[in-house]
Structure 1
Amino acid sequence: MIIKYSDNPFKQILGITFYNRRNILLFTIISIFAVLQNEFGEIFMWDPIILPMVPVTILGGALAIFLGFRNNSAYDRWWEARKIWGGIVNASRTFGVMICTFSSTHFSKGKVNDDKVQAWRKELIHRHIGWLYALIMHLRKHNHWSDLERYISEKEIEAIKKLHNKPTQILHKQSERLQNAYEDQIIEDFRHMELMNVIKEFYDLQGKAERIKGTIFPYYYNYFTGVFLWLFVICLPFALASQMQWGAIPMSIAISFVFTILEKSGAVTEDPFEGRAADTPINSITRNIEIDLLEMIRSETVPAPIEPKIGRFGVKYMD
């Protein structure tokens, strides 16, 4: 997630130009060609291509409608992703507090000692952190197991590697361990039900994240937006050249750039889990949850928060 652009206006302009250099070069070539053929076409004995402004304006209006719809829908996906991970933060803290305060030797009447209760707490907290990293791995479709290996046993990891939906199976294991704790009288029935409700909430939040990841933006909006965009970009300088002469070059470049930036922002925003600078910072959010839960069980190895990164041209962002 981008936190801040550089305070240096030169770096801002340089960064925007660098990341859009191919499009800007293409706009420049089309615009120069349109103006040259308009200015010198008669010298080479051909009729210059001159397009009327009204149809190009109508095309631009239609394009603006498509871009507006797409960007609004893409932003809704991005914002929903942020709310989902905000819900995971709250539910994780609730789960950690319940694990630490609901479990006790009181209900077992001496059958369970404090060491077993502490070990059970640590196991469930660690497995939950493992679930968070497994969910990231699941959404980003990679196989980086190092974070899980810090919190889940090797035997359990080998078992879930064979399964399709790894975070789902980790939550299933959590449910089994809650049932074991109830049978061992570490928790009583009401507390068992409350903890299972939190597991259900994790399933709901995971399902919502999977829905965003698995729902492809309607193809025809992407396709026709791209077709209309480049048709507009190609036609615009030929409509401006006869009216503005050489001034058509910077004007058509500027207008084309605005429309392509709008299209690009929608394309980037519609998939918010990829780990890019503009995406939901799920690594940073997960690290904060990890710190909170480990401090609840008084762990001696608590990692530091993930610091903001400084990218090219002074952009500050969270991963």
Structure 2
Amino acid sequence: MHTGNHYKLKEFLLWTRRDSYWIFFLAVVPTSLYYFLDWKWLAIPWVPIAMIGTAAAFIVGFRNNATYSRLWEARQLWGSIVNSSRSWGIMVRDFVTNHQAKTPLPLDQLQQVHQQLIYRHMAWLTALRYQLREPRSWENMRKRYNREYQEKVYKVPEQEHRLEDILPRYLSPEEENYILAKKNRAAQIISLQSAQLRDLLQAGLIDNFRHMALEGVLKDFYNQQGGCERIKNFPYPRQFASINLFFVRLFIIMMPFGMLQEFGKLGGWLVWFSVPASLMVSWVFNAMEKVGESTENPFEGSANDVPISALSRTIEIDLREMLEEKDLPPALQPENNILL
């Protein structure tokens, strides 16, 4: 997530510069042939190009609107995770008590139970964000211009540290080994939470009503995880992404020929103004296509992702404060205006 006022024009130009080189080349070649070899037949009437441009503009707008919806849904899901996590913290702290316990626990052991349930939830957050950062074949972070921007500007926390190094902060060695042996680790952590709630119910540390309420929060976590997995594992439909790319590229290729028709009317060397004109118009369409592409997958580790690492850290700070802990981790800060 970009935390500044806006991206700088310099960043956009550097990000799209390789495409701009090709656009410049596509504009210079027909203009040179038109001017030096007098190939006037290269000039194409503007009407068919404008029709293609209109279609490209519609499909680009449709795609950008749809990809923004994916991003916004992802942000809403993580907003729900934040709220449900805080609810989980206060419910664990206030529902799990000795009030109806068959064998009351000493205060320190009761606090240890609270810590187990809350720390295991932080393990769920950790496992979930690592799963969401796993690459998919349709994602765009492997492309050269995206990878180059990331290497120069920011780092993805889940790529800097292994899950195996983080989980021991929150789980016992037995639970860690159990979870790491599973495929969907986040789902299995919630299963462990439910199993402990069942044991607490049998011990009388929670009653039936409170047990149902806590299980309801676990159900919410499953729903929220499922929503994130739906966005992660189902790409923006490839047919729409493909036709968007085809239309934009066709328009960019034909643009210089239409500009020759318009600037050729000026006569003489003024036809060379078609080169910067083609470059500017084509760059606008290419940049819009790139923006839609960069918004498609809100968990892939791009500069426009939902900041799930920062949100997880915020939740961790809130929950550990509920446990009255003092040695809290710092909130994650933006790096070059990029917060992940």
* TM-score scaled by length of structure 1: 0.92
2: CA distance between counterparts of 1:271 and 1:254? 28
Which residues of 2 match residues 1-319 of structure 1 at below 5 A? 1-5=1-5, 12-42=8-38, 48-108=41-101, 110-141=103-134, 143-244=162-263, 245-310=271-336, 316-319=337-340
Distance (Å, rounded) in 2 between the aligned partners of 1:216 and 1:101: 41
Residue ranges of structure 2 left out of the alignment (5+ in a row) = 135-157, 264-270
Amino acid at match of 1:3: T
- Say how many residue pairs are matched: 307
Residues 139-148 or 13-22, more deviating: 139-148
Q: Which residue of 2 aligns with 1:313?
A: none
Query: 2: CA distance between counterparts of 1:132 and 1:56?
Result: 50
Q: Is the 8 A contact 1:288 1:305 kept in 2?
A: yes
Q: What's the CA shift for 1:263?
A: 0.8
Tell me how far apart the structure 1 counterparts of residues 198 and 326 of structure 2 sit (CA, whole Å). 28
**C-alpha contact (below 8 Å) 1:127/1:152 kept by paired residues:** yes
Aligned counterparts of 1:301 and 1:71: Cα–Cα separation in 2: 43
Matching residue's letter, 1:271: N
In structure 1, how many angstroms separate the alpha carbons of the residues matched to 2:252 and 2:221? 46
Q: Distance in 2 between matches of 1:289 and 1:111?
A: 30
Shift of 1:64: 0.9
Amino acid at match of 1:72: N
Could you tell me how far 1:41 is from its partner in structure 2? Answer: 1.9
Contact 2:103 2:203 in 1 (8 A): no
Q: Which amino acid aligns with 1:240?
A: M
Q: Any idea what the Cα deviations from partners look like across 1:123-171, whole Å, max 9, x if unmatched?
A: 0100000000100011112753322221112221211222111100000
- Corresponding letter in the other structure for 1:261: A
2:317 counterpart SS class:
helix
How far apart, in 1, do the equivalents of 2:119 and 2:256 lie?
60
Unaligned runs of 5+ in 1: 311-315
Measured in 1, the distance between the counterparts of 2:312 and 2:273 equals 51
Deviates more, 1:190-199 or 1:103-112: 103-112
What displacement does 1:109 show? 5.5
- Further displaced range: 72-81 or 141-150: 141-150
When normalised by structure 2's length, the TM-score is 0.87
* Cα RMSD, aligned residues only: 1.5
In structure 1, distance between residues paired with 2:287 and 2:37: 32
Task: Confirm or deny: 8 A CA contact 1:130 1:152 kept in the other structure.
Answer: yes
